[in-house]
Structure 1
Amino acid sequence: MNRHSRLIKLGLDTNPFYASKVIAEYACSQSRNSLSHAHQVFDQVPFNLKDTALWASLISAYSRSHQPHKALHLFSHMLLQPQPAPHAQPNSYVFTSVARAIASAPEQHLCLGQTLHAHVIKYGYIPNDVVVETALLHMYAKCGVLTYACKLFDEMPLRNLVTWNAMISGLVQNGMEINGFELFTEMKCLEIYAPDQFTVATVLSGCAGVRDLILGKQVHGFAIVSGFESNCSNAIATMYFDCGEVGSGEKFLDGIGGDVFMMLIKIRGYVSNAKYSDALKCISSAHNSIVILYQDHTVIVPLLTACSKLSLLRVGKQLHGLLITLGESFEFNLSDEDGEIIGCALIDMYSKCGDVFEARRVFDHLLPQHISHGNSMVLGYIYNGLIGDARALLEIMPEKNVVSWTSMMTGYVRSGKPNEGLNLLTKMYSNEEGLIVNGNCLTFVVGLEACSSLTDLEKGKQIHAKTVRMLVSADISNVVIGTALIDMYSKSGKLNYAQRVFDLMVEKNAVAWTSIIMGYAVHGLGFDALKLFQQMIGTGFEPNEVTFIAVLTACSHSGLVDSGLQYFKMMKKYNLVPREDHQTCLIDMLGRFGRLDEAFHLLEETEATEWSGEPSRATAWAALLGACHLHGNVKLGEKVAKKMLVNGKQISTTHVTLSNVYAAAGLWDEAYGVRESWRKEGNINGEPGLTSISMHMQNS
């Protein structure tokens, strides 16, 4: 820099006053090595001449340049001077810069936060300096330590607008939106500091997070009255879209006039509300799509998601082409954090659109390759049923994390290969590759799912024990793992274990209740299952569609036909539409107890009203035809078969079952006639099946 050169010529480069000015200029420079030069200027000043301003200038420069470790290292050197000179003591500017550095990397430097707090107290800045206290409050909030942040806020004798905003923002960003809203209300009521546009934007983001549309509209009204609507337009529009009010979001954006940033909000809003076609229309109607992508290239991710959901491979390729053009025109690359996400989105789009070859080509050309890229490619292979290719890629990946292993396990289990999934879980915890990867909740859930499908109680117990060791009481505090354990123990015949897990669960949801109800139902303990169902409703949980399948199964296995009918009708009370599984379960129950005419009329009534939304339920009619065979009701069997053949449902099965109905009633000519007409129509011959039995012989 010119100033630095002049100071060197004048012999003033070691003067702390001028050195501080030069460091400040280097900090504002956009050149690559500017901070290195700034540090050289700092080092050239003799140690005994370094004053507070000089230390503060370099610490602040590193903090603002997102190099917190260097800022903290420098702060430590400042404190550890052999004989700290009075002119080199940390001041409020130093403390706020250090607090900012810790807040920017909370995972790495949280432990230093309390040390900084102690030094602030030692040097007398608490309770006298609202700026330093606010910086500490912000630091604790960013580190997720809301207890300390709230305590600091409550004990502050003086607060300013920044203090209130920092506290509200900290609460909202740490999932304590309700507390943030209460503080916002208190701030308005006290009327000491009026909320500004930052306050309003923060509260609106909280409304979006908890989908509180009513409060969101109220805050929008407050923004209009306070004159902040134009400044908070992004937050207002995002709030409406995140709360599911797409129409209100569109109306607001259209009213204020659209620019590129408004277009970006619209696209993200459409995708988050599953309006994928609207998102793609939005980008296609833009005058210059490349300008939109240049303003925020990450918007390509929701657009690629839209292509994935709609299987629009051609449009996805066009977006990929725009991305390439963006790289050529504006020196955009996929090497940064945003680029990592975009790379994953491209692989996902091609995979879900069925073009695995192009997905792999994208993967091979991504430099540098991240673990997330490999994970996306593994998932792409699994999505397309290429389990072998997924495993081959997993084996050659230089790095693997818990997502890599869990994805592959899920692929095996969901494709009917639970044994391979469990073997992979064992390998994951072995030292075979010199590195052990600890599983997470999803890993154990998939492992338990494999044990459930194999009814492998011993391995299920081993996984249960591992969850306790690895996740510290995850079996009773994590509702997802708890539910998986209930399902595994139930299917393995240990209903008492399942009940114990359920009783110990700290948190329960409708899925957990449904799982334990289903466990009792399939074990023939219908009365116990229905008792649990009543407890579930009494506790305030609303049953879902699967819950009613469990309830109907309980009624069927216990012969509670009238109760089953009542529960079937109860679905309307919870705005649930009976599906094929519900109808089949009910018809099977009625048929099993000989109430065939009632079952027939119920199915006809369902089809006539289209209550199910999907007439001609083939499985339900097949269940009724099977019941006709069981009870020898030839007349009704003929009616049911005729109805099924007219609808074109399960033609081969219908012929076979109707033939069996005739045969069971001794009407052999009719049975033969059905099979003959079936053969003449060119269908499968219905030859008897053969069962293979393995026998292990042992010589005595």
Structure 2
Amino acid sequence: MVHLSHKFSTIPINFIPKQFSKHLPQQIPSQTTPPFIPFSQRQNQRSLLESQLISALNCCTSLTQIQQIHARILRKGFEQCCYVLTKLIRILTKMEIPMDSYAKLVFNQVENPNPFLCTALIRGYCLQGHVKESVFVYSEMRKKNVLPISFTFSALFKACGVVNDVDLGRQIHGQTILIGGFGFGFDLFVKNSLIEMYVKLGFLGCGRKVFDELPGRDLISWTELIVGYVKAGDMESAGELFSELPKKDMVAWTAMVTGYAQNAKPREALEFFERMLNEGVETDKVTLVGVISACAQLGAAKYVNWIRDTVENLGFSPTRCVVVGSALIHMYSKCGSVEDAYKAFKVMEEKNVFSYSSMIAGFAMHGYAYAALELFHEMVKIGIKPNKVTFIGVLTACSHSRMVEQGRQIFESMEEKFGISPGVDHYSCMVDLLGRAGCLEEALNLAETMPLEPNGGVWGALLGACRTYSNPDIAQIAANHLFELEPNAIGNYILLSNIYASAGQWNDVLMVRKMMRERGLRKNPGCSWLETKKGVIQEFFSGDMSHPRYGEMKQVLEDLLNRLKAIGYQPNMNSIAYDVSDEEERRILITHSEKLALAFGLLDINADFPIRIMKNIRMCEDCHSFLCAVSQITRRVIIVRDNLRFHHFHDGKCSCGNFW
């Protein structure tokens, strides 16, 4: 066993820095016969010295300073003082000094550690991700009959959540019941930590059971469970729980607002936010980011202008608040106005990696690769280190513009220059980049040899490239992986069927369509929406003929179709997922949601303004070629955002280069 007292006892008193001297006694009592001091006075002196040592530890900013104060602790006979040593371990934890290298050695010198000292070490191990060690310390304290405290269990529950170990969490949950005679069975702090753990691990039923059995609940209890439902996408249960909450604070309101935004319910998010404002509830940056995200999903100028003014009125100027400013940049980009996004970026008084990453992503989704690269090099030049999100934006920009060599260099620089290990999303970008450039064999090789397990994004990028370059062999390989990873994603089946159809492999087309029927797969209804000249959002669903102006819209589409056929346009029937009659095929194609939205836009929106359409799923090949041709014969600018990127149609061309 290492004797720390031997290590530090030789450090002279005058080695302690001046800034700590006022906290420590200046003279050591003589070792000759000491004068008689009454017990009460000795106790007062010891308490004073404890306070001085604690104050000195609070001032430490380095390991060297901690060691100097520790030497004083040993010289003054406090090596068994749990109160002082608990503070020492907490300071070591705060400074992220490995527990085994120092704190554990300090702990091992204590003959009778109390619950607070044990908990300090457990918490330190937990925060550093060493869950096994923290559980070992807990086991040892139980063997020594040292009773845990509330903070002991909260630290252990948090650690179980971090390492995704629900079995261990349940065992520790059992401990709180076994030691229930000491109040842990109904300790609110412990129970809230337990709810948080179950929620984080996805065991909402267990979390709800703990919540329901609590005799007294506080805001934390309610909010933890609401957040759990939000993360699980169960906004109905979250809303019911929120309505039962006796006193609703900003955290609970924000959980609901951001929850609706994250679960693709932007209108509900905005409604909740307006209720929040009307009830006079304070808002913070987190709330505003959630609302801004909801506005970005809707893509309507009406909401964009409203949230911009609201942010200013609430005192969160986007020019000074980086978080809000970055969220607004993202919103402008998602709403189709990369120009407004760049204006917002330029006027920001302070910029960080998040604001740069938002702007780079905005340029990337609109196809402005050179602007994205220029901004990336600018941020590196001024000393802002890019993060993983930054590189996704830059690689996406290179991919959309088929800048293969630039993409390779940036991908390689991630680890070599910036010390960032590429994630699955970065490999997905590289596969997409190689695929768009026609390097299908290289893209396949990268997907098969990458050090991480490829996900649906990787194989989906390769499958999309096979459509462009008509390679059914590699498409089959990519599709097989996708069918295993995403068995119910009907878009993958349709894409493979279209690739086979383009290659004239009709037997394979029938095979894929049979698979779809056997698995009961139905295509998600396409939904498109746009903002009218009166600021009202109009929604259109594929195949829906119930719109009040459907007769006018149908006439517009038929007129366009006749004009397009005169210049050689032919509908792409491969976009139909099932075998139907020719007449039914034409009806299905003409009532795709983006075509209905386009027809309404041509009727409603002035010719001087672009028609901006938002769509919930990927645009099919027929609609893409149709909108390209319409932009040519009508001389209208048409901007469509699908779930992949923006398409700017103008004069018969699309900004995506017919690759999306």
Q: State TM-score, norm by structure 1.
A: 0.61
Corresponding residue number in structure 1 for 2:458:
620
Aligned ranges 1:13-412 → 2 under 5 Å = 185-187=17-19, 198=51, 201-202=54-55, 204-205=57-58, 215-224=62-71, 227=75, 230=79, 232-242=84-94, 243-248=96-101, 249-257=103-111, 259-260=113-114, 261-287=116-142, 291-293=146-148, 296-309=149-162, 310-312=165-167, 314-322=170-178, 324-327=180-183, 340-352=188-200, 356=204, 359-360=207-208, 362-364=210-212, 366=214, 368-412=216-260
Report the Cα offset of residue 562 of structure 1: 1.5
The whole-number CA distance in structure 1 between the counterparts of 2:385 and 2:58 is 29
1:627-656 CA distance string (max 9 Å, x none): 2332234xxx52563587489855978876
Q: Relative to structure 1, is the Cα distance of residues 683 and 250 closer, same or farther in structure 2, using a 3 angstrom cutoff? A: farther
1:490 correspondence with 2:343? no
Closer, same or farther: CA 314–241 of 1 in aligned 2, 3 Å: same
What letter is aligned with 1:341? F
SS in 1 for 2:248: coil
Tell me if structure 2 keeps the 8 A contact 1:421–1:450: yes
Give, in whole Å, the separation in 2 of the partners of 1:564 and 1:440: 38
Q: In structure 2, what is the Cα distance between the partners aligned to 1:255 and 1:369?
A: 41
Distance 1:357-1:545 versus aligned 2 partners, 3 A rule: closer
Which structure 1 residue ranges, 5 or more long, are not aligned?
A: 1-183
Report the residue type matching 2:466 in the other structure. C
Deviation at 1:678, TM superposition (A): 9.1
Amino acid at match of 2:130: K
CA distance in 2, matches of 1:576, 1:245: 23
352-361 or 457-466, larger mean C-alpha shift: 352-361
The answer on whether the counterparts of 1:457 and 1:489 sit within 8 Å (CA) in structure 2 is no
Q: Is this contact kept in 1: 2:360–2:372, CA < 8 A?
A: yes
Confirm or deny: 8 A CA contact 2:460 2:482 kept in the other structure: no
Does 1 or 2 have the higher relative contact order (CA < 8 Å, sep 6+)? 2
1:241–1:269 contact (8 Å) kept in structure 2: yes
2:503 pairs with 660, 665, 670, which one? Answer: 665
* 2:543 equivalent in structure 1: 693
Moved more, 356-365 or 460-469: 356-365
Provide closer, same or farther for how the CA distance between residues 674 and 665 of structure 1 changes in structure 2, counting only shifts above 3 A: closer
The Cα of 1:685 is off from its aligned counterpart by 8.2
> Structure 2 CA distance, aligned partners of 1:648 and 1:599?
19
1:437 CA displacement? 1.1
C-alpha RMSD of matched pairs (Å): 3.8
- Which residue in 2 is equivalent to 1:592? 436
Structure 2 vs 1, CA of residues 533 and 234 (structure 1 numbering), >3 Å: closer, same or farther? same
| Maintained 8 Å contact 1:644/1:651 | no
User: Partner amino acid for 2:19?
Assistant: M
Per the alignment, in what secondary structure is the counterpart of residue 429 of structure 1?
helix
For 1:251, the aligned partner's letter is: L
The one-letter code of the counterpart of 1:482 is: G
State the identity %.
28
Structure 1, 404-413 or 459-468: larger mean CA deviation: 459-468
Q: Output the CA distance in 2 between the equivalents of 1:518 and 1:578.
A: 17
Q: 2:473 aligns with which of 638, 641, 644?
A: 638
| Larger radius of gyration between Structure 1 and Structure 2 | 1
Shift of 1:526: 1.4
Q: Contact (CA 8 Å) 2:288, 2:324: kept in 1 or not?
A: yes
Stretch deviating more after TM superposition (508-517 or 350-359): 350-359
Offset of 1:190 from its aligned partner?
Answer: 10
2:264 alignment counterpart: 416
| Cα distance change of structure 1 residues 377 and 674 upon mapping to structure 2, 3 Å threshold | closer
Mapping 1:445-464, distance limit 5 Å: 445-464=289-308
Q: Distance in 2 between matches of 1:461 and 1:620?
A: 37
Asked if the contact 1:526–1:555 (Cα under 8 Å) also holds between the matched residues in 2, the reply is yes
Kept after mapping to 2: 8 A contact 1:280/1:303: yes
**TM-fit CA distance, 1:560:** 2.1
Matched AA of 1:410: T
Q: Is the 8 A contact 1:283 1:289 kept in 2?
A: no
Please state which structure has a larger fraction of its residues in helix. Answer: 1
Any residues of structure 2 matched to 1:569-608 within 5 Å, and which? Answer: 569-573=412-416, 574-603=418-447, 607=449
User: CA distance change for structure 1 residues 325 and 622 in 2, over 3 Å: closer, same or farther?
Assistant: same
**Equivalents in 2 of 1:588, 1:344: separation in Å?**
44
Cα deviation digits, residues 307-352 of structure 1 (max 9, x gap): 444223532431331453112xxxx897xxxx55334224324444
Q: TM-score, normalised by structure 2?
A: 0.64
Seen in structure 2, the aligned counterparts of structure 1 residues 413 and 651 have a Cα distance that, compared at 3 Å, is closer
Compute the displacement of 1:359 (Å): 4.1
Report the CA distance shift for 1:595/1:359 in structure 2 as closer, same or farther (over 3 A).
closer
Alignment map for 1:498-537 (pairs within 5 Å)? 498-537=341-380
- Cα distance, 1:372 vs structure 2: 2.9
Describe the shift of the 1:395–1:189 C-alpha distance in structure 2 as closer, same or farther (beyond 3 A).
closer
Deviation at 1:290, TM superposition (A): 7.2
8 Å CA contact retained: 1:267, 1:282: yes
C-alpha displacement of 1:424: 0.8
CA distance in 1 between partners of 2:369 and 2:444 (Å): 25
Contact 2:127 2:159 in 1 (8 A): no
- The alpha-carbon deviation at position 194 of structure 1 amounts to 5.2
CA deviation vs aligned residue, 1:46-75 (integer Å, no higher than 9, x gap):
xxxxxxxxxxxxxxxxxxxxxxxxxxxxxx
Q: C-alpha separation between the residues in 2 aligned to 1:283 and 1:192?
A: 34
Q: Distance in 1 between matches of 2:111 and 2:348?
A: 52
Contact 2:424-2:454 at 8 Å conserved across structures: no
Shift of 1:487: 1.1
Answering whether residue 280 of structure 2 is matched by residue 436 of structure 1, we say yes
Structure 1 residue 277 displacement after superposition: 3.7
CA contact (8 A) 1:316 1:349 kept: no
- Partners in 1 of 2:521 and 2:204 — Cα distance? 39
* Residue 420 of structure 1: how far off its partner (Å): 1.1
Structure 1, residues 514-557: CA drift from partner, whole Å, max 9, x if none? 11111111122211111111111112121111111110112223
Q: Say whether the 8 Å CA contact 2:322–2:350 is kept in structure 1.
A: yes
Alpha-carbon distance change, 531 to 383 in structure 1, aligned in 2, over 3 angstroms: closer
CA contact (8 A) 1:487 1:516 kept: yes
Aligned equivalents of 1:394 and 1:687: distance in 2?
Answer: 34
